[in-house]
Amino acid sequence: MLAKVKSGEMALDDAVARLIGLPYQEMGFAKVDHHRELRCGFPEVVLGQGKTAEQVAAIVQQLSSASDRVLVTKADEACFDAVRQLVPDASYHPVARAITVHRGGEEPLRPGIMVVSAGTSDIPVAEEAAVAAEIMGNVVERCYDVGVAGVHRLLDHLPELQQAKVVVVVAGMEGALPSVVGGLVAVPVIAVPTSVGYGASFGGLAPLLAMLNSCAAGVSVVNIDNGFGAGYLAALINR
Amino acid sequence: MLAKVKSGEMALDDAVARLIGLPYQEMGFAKVDHHRELRCGFPEVVLGQGKTAEQVAAIVQQLSSASDRVLVTKADEACFDAVRQLVPDASYHPVARAITVHRGGEEPLRPGIMVVSAGTSDIPVAEEAAVAAEIMGNVVERCYDVGVAGVHRLLDHLPELQQAKVVVVVAGMEGALPSVVGGLVAVPVIAVPTSVGYGASFGGLAPLLAMLNSCAAGVSVVNIDNGFGAGYLAALINR
Amino acid sequence: MLAKVKSGEMALDDAVARLIGLPYQEMGFAKVDHHRELRCGFPEVVLGQGKTAEQVAAIVQQLSSASDRVLVTKADEACFDAVRQLVPDASYHPVARAITVHRGGEEPLRPGIMVVSAGTSDIPVAEEAAVAAEIMGNVVERCYDVGVAGVHRLLDHLPELQQAKVVVVVAGMEGALPSVVGGLVAVPVIAVPTSVGYGASFGGLAPLLAMLNSCAAGVSVVNIDNGFGAGYLAALINR
Amino acid sequence: MLAKVKSGEMALDDAVARLIGLPYQEMGFAKVDHHRELRCGFPEVVLGQGKTAEQVAAIVQQLSSASDRVLVTKADEACFDAVRQLVPDASYHPVARAITVHRGGEEPLRPGIMVVSAGTSDIPVAEEAAVAAEIMGNVVERCYDVGVAGVHRLLDHLPELQQAKVVVVVAGMEGALPSVVGGLVAVPVIAVPTSVGYGASFGGLAPLLAMLNSCAAGVSVVNIDNGFGAGYLAALINR
Amino acid sequence: MLAKVKSGEMALDDAVARLIGLPYQEMGFAKVDHHRELRCGFPEVVLGQGKTAEQVAAIVQQLSSASDRVLVTKADEACFDAVRQLVPDASYHPVARAITVHRGGEEPLRPGIMVVSAGTSDIPVAEEAAVAAEIMGNVVERCYDVGVAGVHRLLDHLPELQQAKVVVVVAGMEGALPSVVGGLVAVPVIAVPTSVGYGASFGGLAPLLAMLNSCAAGVSVVNIDNGFGAGYLAALINR
Amino acid sequence: MLAKVKSGEMALDDAVARLIGLPYQEMGFAKVDHHRELRCGFPEVVLGQGKTAEQVAAIVQQLSSASDRVLVTKADEACFDAVRQLVPDASYHPVARAITVHRGGEEPLRPGIMVVSAGTSDIPVAEEAAVAAEIMGNVVERCYDVGVAGVHRLLDHLPELQQAKVVVVVAGMEGALPSVVGGLVAVPVIAVPTSVGYGASFGGLAPLLAMLNSCAAGVSVVNIDNGFGAGYLAALINR
Amino acid sequence: MLAKVKSGEMALDDAVARLIGLPYQEMGFAKVDHHRELRCGFPEVVLGQGKTAEQVAAIVQQLSSASDRVLVTKADEACFDAVRQLVPDASYHPVARAITVHRGGEEPLRPGIMVVSAGTSDIPVAEEAAVAAEIMGNVVERCYDVGVAGVHRLLDHLPELQQAKVVVVVAGMEGALPSVVGGLVAVPVIAVPTSVGYGASFGGLAPLLAMLNSCAAGVSVVNIDNGFGAGYLAALINR
Amino acid sequence: MLAKVKSGEMALDDAVARLIGLPYQEMGFAKVDHHRELRCGFPEVVLGQGKTAEQVAAIVQQLSSASDRVLVTKADEACFDAVRQLVPDASYHPVARAITVHRGGEEPLRPGIMVVSAGTSDIPVAEEAAVAAEIMGNVVERCYDVGVAGVHRLLDHLPELQQAKVVVVVAGMEGALPSVVGGLVAVPVIAVPTSVGYGASFGGLAPLLAMLNSCAAGVSVVNIDNGFGAGYLAALINR
């Protein structure tokens, strides 16, 4: 039938068709979007913070019934305990504070993503980025504690940096590392400000503003402490 | 000689070698970085704002003596007049407020970049993004005035959107468009907040914060009104 | 007597008469405004936060001695325990964190209010709005977890949306949902930003600013997390 | 045909049907939304600020070719001159800085809206609200310069206030007037902060925050200086 | 000798003489200023917050050895326990969270100060103001819970208000009460914003800005929650 | 009649009586409050900024028809020209940017007010304070350019300072002067932050915050650049 | 005489003696502090901004009558014209926007100060620092346009950097340069944020916060655009 | 070898040589920079906050294996317990919350540094500055509780102040002390804002802005509560 509508409206119908068919699971407190994996290439990711452990566990159970890969971010151990009750093959990444379900055969992993962090305290956010990129099928190169006040530590890693296809740079305090990295590579740099610091850091505002004002082209920014967002975006770019 | 240093230090030497050799042109008020094209894939871009017309013209002359492509952003007509004196084949893009020099044979252009804007007033920033991506060798698809308050206008363009490899989304006011686009595509979305609006927009702070908090994964953000940064990054991703 | 004052002052007297007669109950730490129900159509609502459980309980006792409907917002369970000692027929709504007293015969309920929320974590604020509207005599349609990153979930509810007489839209993060809803309906939209989120959400500042800058006409905004305010206003509009 | 699709998908189709059919006029720099009048009850309103006079004039010409009522806000006289060239029956409201086209027979006007302003300097924003409400078919009662530092001036108008069905309250400086009005009436109050003031007003931030924190229930807020938004919303509520 | 210095320098010497002679007690972590009572009319007041209970107790002991009146603000019960060990006749005011030592015969108290508060939650700050004014020799009239959303409660107290020589007005949320009071009286109004509220109150920023922008003349402002400062200033004015 | 109402309502009636009788002059764009002089001891003061010269002139004409003293603040010379047309005996104070009308016999002036300013650039605001206090019947002692970086300049004026009954302290930049003055005197100090400065002054935010956090008791603050407010308050205190 | 006061008070007297003797010149709108040169090693510096050209000229005339070196900052050409009328041997530095008077024999200049700037647009502030340091008797090494996005340009100057005794680093945008410099040198680094940039630079807030959060030890910060402050401090350190 | 490269590249090589040779210890979560002591004159300092006690202990063990002096800041007692397990000769400074290792013979200490604090609550930050300066080989003069509201307490210490070669001034609240000190001495003043205070202090923002706007030349600022940064910088200046 639809094939018979007049040609000028066809584009609209395509759009409609793509939109309509999307199924989701009504859970009362959540509408789990099963079609997202088809539409965006990865199932919905669950932000653990602000949800009860029970809510997270129920959502993970739903998602994992339809997908081989599930990711929960900013989840504490209590949350993981609840998930493990319902989904026994879930894993916990304590530094990244992430829960993953990763089933199925071994597909080949894509190299090309490097995660760089400025200080020791930025590692949890960097790990969140790395775990997110890994579950999306990537090998992640890590290079931690290379802040700009000892720039030789970064330069020592220049060869690896320059082989990356996309670089995630995680930094708190003055947030200068993405600019320095951005001047050394010819690939996209995803900057992640962290709330590490005190005083005039104002919860990560200082590195956020610095990164947005980066004088290096090719740098874009995600939310403060949003390691997941950076890792996910890196995976999209690396496809 | 360097080949004879002991193997453990070799990585460092590589780094050094890459860093040292970079030539630049000392101009007193500027150090023009001729090597940048090799290092980052595109010659240094000139921010017109905050420089005198004479400074811009001199820098463009320097850059265009060594490169076939030059880009100046946030430049007014007076600035272009000064440039044209020294570089007669420069062009001016009045909506984007950009000056370009683009010489040489016709290389094939890469498709894949789409620039979407929310309102009519956001077009100058969107055009800055488009011009930047074009001079880096891309065909740019434009889709303007598709703000979220009339979401059907965006859905009408869903097929083109879903064929893009990277989408630049430009929006002022509440900055909601990147989240909606991000939920419809499976590719990187670069969000550009604009200073369009008044009152509690606070010069673009409102859309900036909104975009940083986007609930759609795959969205990253550049500075307010930084169309160039988004276009440049889109070109890097589209390579 | 007052009828004899000269005509020119009559309007003033009307005003005075309305103001003067308003009785209230002096409790030392509070002046309970019994006349408010006549003046504004609903008895004074108690903000639980910032008061001791004992103060809340005493105020509820006072109010419930003169009115059939009482509402306390942002009250924890300890607060409810104190209230229940003095007012045994009070109820607690744990998700909304609200205490209600609702006595008397069954008046017919008014349909027309819909409460929409963007994410699972926004539900407590949405429920506060719903409970407030319900105690004021309304049937409330709920539609939760329909954030803009999966816009098809919202579109699925378009028919209900378009039958509402007023829509309360609750969203944290980028706060984009009210603009999308506002573009789809021809009725007032009351936007409630929530403090859900982290980093550059800055405690709800991001969605607050976004909602204030909404490009959709017909949208107004209440305080961050102020579900009650939105539900109350929706009830006024729905009268 | 569509009637034959299976019942479970029918709701979706309804939604789709409503979305798809919406026509708009592609103008290159704008997509004029002719269907908006059907969908939202009033044609698209044009924000003059940030557009060239020529863009505004062309959009008004388009809109007025399909609708009897057009409204442009924040437009200066030069903008009106350009509009008048193309649409000779347009009118200019200099205090409100609004352009209107209002054709057709005399429909009866709805009473019920009152616009109250705190100071003389708030009048332009108040007038923008009034003009917006009037073009949507309402009679607007005005009550200006009744700031809280001389509260008797407001009380003198209490009878009119208490007959309104919705009240728009415009105030700069400390923004206290909506709270006082909200305590006196039992109808929705739409608060409009203005950028009137200096110093710690911070461009209207002070009254904006005050209004969001109003202790009076039934108050909601629109953007700083957004008289139009308040007038439009008042008209929606008054329908 | 000093009398012999030439007349032109004499003013300087006066200044010097007043400055030099001021004795203070070196305590290592504090320099207790015994002369302050002569210079400013009241001994140094101790801010309990940010000091250890032991530090507070030692300072109070020092001060009370040389003065009949001592005041500690923002002190919890643990702090009072430490003070009571060293200064047995100290008293604690639990609502105001203040410690006082008040010895000596009965001097006559000065009437003239009224403390007004907008809501029940503002009472602790209001009490801090009242306690401060009382220990400086004043009778304090209290009028609590008279917020602007029920303005008749304030008007009921107009006669007392208009007999005050100075009025302290304590309010959180929108901070409108000082403007209304300031328009009703012809005496200085000291406005105290409180951190009561949530969301866009931003810890008291909303009422602070509102009060600074008060349209009523004769209003000045002290720090958020600084009841002491207001009570002390009221006492100075009432002298 | 009113004397016959029962005693319990009498207080209310007093309040009402005071409120009702207040006459004002309706001017369309303003309601001139003639009774204010009785109620608050001084006629309404006109803020010139944000009003047209014609509006100011008309208001001044109204006020000066009923009062011997009129004050307009933040008025430029063009505004004064318009006023002079209608009120020939008005005067202009160019440094303070104030217009005054001051008629009638010579009442004796009250000494006791001192205005102190930190820098040369703060003088316009200091003069606004002085002019306001003078028209309210006070002699004003001025002491300018005594900033804290050369504290001996202030100490030289200590004797005059210590004879004042109230001190207005005007300062931009770090806003430290009120704290130093407040530690030297035993009378109320009214602090006026100014927008003098650049960079991190943020339009006067820096001295505003500093003054609100003053460690000296007896200091209160008015709006940035609000010299009038300080002068008016000083006059109230000095009565 | 003073020698006879008892030894314990001697320190106080010394203090007093130093304070009292300080002469200054009363100019009505300014108190020129002639003694400052003795006390602080350099005569008072005049901030041109916020003063009239006439005021600046009069102050310069006063200062130059008693000192061989005078500095005016943030002065435009009109200001210099007024100064030149009264002080013919004054000079103007157009890039730095500074006026200097520098008389007398040739004392030997001290090397040791280096001024580094990130971008071409930062040069005016850098020059203000250099001019200030020069008039205080220093040779200043300049190194401009060495921003972190091309870090090799900075490394090329490492030898000079490492010979400096104090380094002034001027940067706008992300303000990262001081951290990188601070990690390369073992001397004090004075960081100067500039207002160069747009959007989320927020007038220099971004580099200011970045510099305050520098991860390199030995870095301190002055006000946005305060080149003078940095140059003056560098001269103090270099003594 | 390197000696043979052509002269023009020699400067670069020097730079390179200095950079390359820097050894560091890869610890997985940290790269300990052993060469920093040579490069910057003091080994890397460890910020305890944001690291686990185990991480701090391991880093201290590493650093103390190669250096005689180690400093950890913002470390609690639990952190010290972990350090003491691995490095038994470490010491804890409870007021400063610092851990130090200080071995080796007695080198002579340099006088010249004075640490001044405004209030008792600022002492922990002042002590952090003092401990940092001491471990770098300085004698530190302390002068605490000399806030500007009792300026005579500061003047009493003027002789010591004027003998210092560099002064660290620590202050919360209005942050005025550095300006007063800066006007009294002719040496560098390092200002440290503290988060001491409440309300409009906004976590130290108030004194931070005040110090940045200091009218006294020679003042620079470090991060809020960054006593270490000030002490370290003072030691650099005092060398």
Residues E65 and E124 in one domain: no
Rounded to whole angstroms, how far apart are CA atoms B112 and B114? Answer: 7
Contact at CB, C29 and E145, closer than 8 angstroms: yes
Residues 6+ apart with CB under 8 A from D227: D73, D96, D124, D125, D126, D127, D128, D129, D130, D132, D170, D192
Q: Is the ipTM of this complex over 0.85?
A: yes
- In single-letter form, the type of residue at position G59 comes to I
User: Which pLDDT belongs to residue C10?
Assistant: 37
Residues H49 and H116 in one domain: no
Residues 6+ apart with CB under 8 A from D61: D86, D87
Q: Would you call G29 helix, strand, or coil by DSSP?
A: coil
pLDDT digit string (tens) for F77-132? 999 999 999 999 999 999 999 999 988 766 778 999 999 999 889 999 999 999 99
Contact at CB, A149 and G214, closer than 8 angstroms: yes
Please tell me the distance in Å from B1's CA to the nearest CA on chain H. 7
pLDDT digit string (tens) for F10-50? 334 444 444 444 556 667 677 766 655 655 567 678 999 98
Report percent pLDDT > 70 for chain A.
Answer: 82
This prediction has a pTM of 0.90
Task: Answer left, alpha or beta for residue F185, where phi above 0 means left and psi between -120 and 50 means alpha.
Answer: beta
The overall average pLDDT reported for chain F is: 85
Rounded to whole angstroms, how far apart are CA atoms A34 and H223? Answer: 48
For the ranges D149-158, E45-54, E162-171, H138-147, the lowest mean pLDDT is seen at D149-158
Indicate if the pLDDT at residue G174 is higher than 50: yes
Q: Would you call E102 helix, strand, or coil by DSSP?
A: strand
When pLDDT is cut at 50, 70 and 90, the band that residue E212 belongs to is very high
Indicate if the pLDDT at residue E4 is higher than 70: no
User: Which pLDDT belongs to residue H158?
Assistant: 80
The overall average pLDDT reported for chain D is: 85
Nearest CA in chain A to B168: A220
In terms of Cα–Cα distance, which of E33, E227, E234 is closest to E117? E227
Rounded to whole angstroms, how far apart are CA atoms B218 and B204? Answer: 21
Mean pLDDT along residues F183-200: 93
What is the number of structural domains in chain B? 2
A37 touches C: beta carbon within 8 Å: no
Task: Answer left, alpha or beta for residue G117, where phi above 0 means left and psi between -120 and 50 means alpha.
Answer: beta
pLDDT digit string (tens) for C160-205? 888 899 999 999 999 999 999 998 888 999 999 999 889 999 999 9
Residues C218 and C176 in one domain: yes
Rounded to whole angstroms, how far apart are CA atoms A97 and A77? Answer: 8
We report the CATH number of the domain holding residue A165 as: 3.40.50.1970
Q: Which of D30, D44, D204 sits opposite B199 (nearest CB)?
A: D204
Rounded to whole angstroms, how far apart are CA atoms F117 and F130? Answer: 11
Indicate if the pLDDT at residue G60 is higher than 70: yes
Indicate if the pLDDT at residue B239 is higher than 80: yes
When pLDDT is cut at 50, 70 and 90, the band that residue D68 belongs to is confident
Residue G16: inside a domain: no
Residue B41: inside a domain: yes
Residue C74: inside a domain: yes
Size of interface D-F (CB pairs under 8 A): 58
Q: Are B173 and B166 in contact (CB under 8 A)?
A: no
Q: Which of A150, A182, A200 sits opposite G212 (nearest CB)?
A: A200
Rounded to whole angstroms, how far apart are CA atoms C142 and C160? Answer: 10
Indicate if the pLDDT at residue B116 is higher than 50: yes
Of F46, F81, F102, which residue is a domain's last? F102
Indicate if the pLDDT at residue G18 is higher than 80: no
Residue C114's Cβ-side half-sphere holds a number of Cα atoms within 13 Å equal to: 24
User: Which pLDDT belongs to residue A21?
Assistant: 45
If you ran DSSP here, which 8-state letter would residue G138 be given?
Answer: E
Q: Would you call H94 helix, strand, or coil by DSSP?
A: coil
User: Which pLDDT belongs to residue A169?
Assistant: 98
Indicate if the pLDDT at residue E11 is higher than 60: no
Indicate if the pLDDT at residue C114 is higher than 90: yes
How many C-beta atoms lie closer than 10 Å to residue A18's C-beta? 18
Tokens representing A219?
């740098």
B105 or A218: which leads in pLDDT = A218
User: Which pLDDT belongs to residue F1?
Assistant: 28
Between residues 45 and 104 of chain D, which touch chain B (CB distance below 8 Å)? Answer: 47, 49-51, 55, 59, 74
Residue F28: inside a domain: yes
Distances in whole angstroms, Cα of residue F79 to Cα of each of D193, E161, F54, G52: 26, 37, 8, 22
Rounded to whole angstroms, how far apart are CA atoms A59 and A81? Answer: 14
Residues A118 and A84 in one domain: no
Backbone torsions φ then ψ of G100, nearest 5 degrees: -130, 150
Between residues 114 and 143 of chain G, which touch chain B (CB distance below 8 Å)? Answer: 120-121, 123
Strand pairing report for C110-117 and C91-93: unpaired
When pLDDT is cut at 50, 70 and 90, the band that residue B107 belongs to is confident
Residues A144 and A201 in one domain: yes
The overall average pLDDT reported for chain C is: 84
Of H73, H102, H131, which residue is a domain's last? H102
Report percent pLDDT > 90 for chain A.
Answer: 57
pLDDT digit string (tens) for A72-85? 999 999 999 999 99
- β-bridge mates for residue E168, sequence order: E115, E190
Residues B133 and B85 in one domain: no
Distances in whole angstroms, Cα of residue E27 to Cα of each of E198, E203, H148, H161: 40, 34, 18, 20
Indicate if the pLDDT at residue E213 is higher than 90: yes
Tokens 């789809």 identify what position? C184
Contact at CB, F198 and G30, closer than 8 angstroms: no
Residues D90 and D123 in one domain: no
For residue E54, with 0-12 CB atoms within 10 Å meaning exposed, 13-18 middle and 19 or more buried, which class applies? middle
Residue B209: inside a domain: yes
User: Which pLDDT belongs to residue F202?
Assistant: 94
Q: Are G200 and A175 in contact (CB under 8 A)?
A: no
When pLDDT is cut at 50, 70 and 90, the band that residue G184 belongs to is confident
B41 touches A: beta carbon within 8 Å: yes
The overall average pLDDT reported for chain E is: 85
A13 touches D: beta carbon within 8 Å: yes
Rounded to whole angstroms, how far apart are CA atoms C31 and C47? Answer: 14
User: Which pLDDT belongs to residue D82?
Assistant: 97
Distances in whole angstroms, Cα of residue E203 to Cα of each of C46, C174, E197, E199, E223: 20, 22, 7, 8, 12
Rounded to whole angstroms, how far apart are CA atoms F234 and F126? Answer: 12
G200 touches B: beta carbon within 8 Å: yes
The overall average pLDDT reported for chain A is: 85
Q: Are F22 and F33 in contact (CB under 8 A)?
A: yes
For the ranges A194-203, H63-72, H126-135, the lowest mean pLDDT is seen at H63-72
Q: Would you call C32 helix, strand, or coil by DSSP?
A: strand
Of D61, D79, D102, which residue is a domain's last? D102
Residue A222: inside a domain: yes
Q: Would you call G17 helix, strand, or coil by DSSP?
A: helix
Please tell me the distance in Å from A164's CA to the nearest CA on chain D. 39
Residues D185 and D144 in one domain: yes
Rounded to whole angstroms, how far apart are CA atoms A20 and A34? Answer: 13
Tokens representing A52?
């009860």
Residues G163 and G144 in one domain: yes
Residues F89 and F137 in one domain: no
Indicate if the pLDDT at residue A14 is higher than 70: no
Q: Are F161 and F184 in contact (CB under 8 A)?
A: yes
Highest mean pLDDT among C184-193, G100-109, H14-23: C184-193
F194 touches H: beta carbon within 8 Å: no
Tokens representing D203?
């461009």
What Rg do the C-alpha atoms of chain H give, in angstroms? 20
User: Which pLDDT belongs to residue D62?
Assistant: 87
Q: Are E22 and F183 in contact (CB under 8 A)?
A: no
Please tell me the distance in Å from A78's CA to the nearest CA on chain H. 20
Mean pLDDT along residues G220-231: 97
What Rg do the C-alpha atoms of chain C give, in angstroms? 20
User: Which pLDDT belongs to residue C14?
Assistant: 44
Residue B6: inside a domain: no
Distances in whole angstroms, Cα of residue D145 to Cα of each of A3, B130, D115: 63, 49, 11
* Host domain of residue A83: 21-102
pLDDT digit string (tens) for A93-114? 999 999 999 887 667 789 999 9
Residues 6+ apart with CB under 8 A from F47: D121, F72, F73, F74
* Residue-wise DSSP of G191-233: EEE---S-GGGGGGHHHHHHHHT-SSTTEEE--TT-HHHHHHH
Q: What element of type H or E holds F93?
A: strand F91-93
In terms of Cα–Cα distance, which of A93, A98, A125 is closest to A196? A125
* Residue-wise DSSP of B6-53: -GGGHHHHHHHHHHHT---EE-SS-EE-TTHHHHHSSPPPEE-TTS-H
Q: How many residues comprise chain H? A: 239
Indicate if the pLDDT at residue G210 is higher than 50: yes
A30 or E6: which leads in pLDDT = A30
F31 touches D: beta carbon within 8 Å: yes
Residues G98 and G201 in one domain: no
Residue C7: inside a domain: no
Residues H144 and H185 in one domain: yes
HEC states along chain A? CHHHCCHHHHHHHHHHHHHHCCCCEECCCCEECCCHHHHHCCCCCEECCCCCHHHHHHHHHHHHHHCCEEEEECCCHHHHHHHHHHCCCCEEECCCCEEEEECCCCCCCEEEEEEEECCHHHHHHHHHHHHHHHHCCEEEEEECCCCHHHHHHHHCCHHHHHHCCEEEEEECCCCCHHHHHHCCCCCCEEEEECCCCCHHHHHHHHHHHHHHCCCCCCEEECCCCCHHHHHHHHHHHHC
Indicate if the pLDDT at residue H40 is higher than 70: no
Q: Are E156 and E112 in contact (CB under 8 A)?
A: no
Q: Are D143 and D116 in contact (CB under 8 A)?
A: yes
Contact at CB, B150 and D36, closer than 8 angstroms: yes
Rounded to whole angstroms, how far apart are CA atoms D58 and E79? Answer: 72
pLDDT digit string (tens) for E125-140? 999 999 999 999 999 9
If you ran DSSP here, which 8-state letter would residue C166 be given?
Answer: E
Indicate if the pLDDT at residue H31 is higher than 60: yes
Rounded to whole angstroms, how far apart are CA atoms G147 and A186? Answer: 17
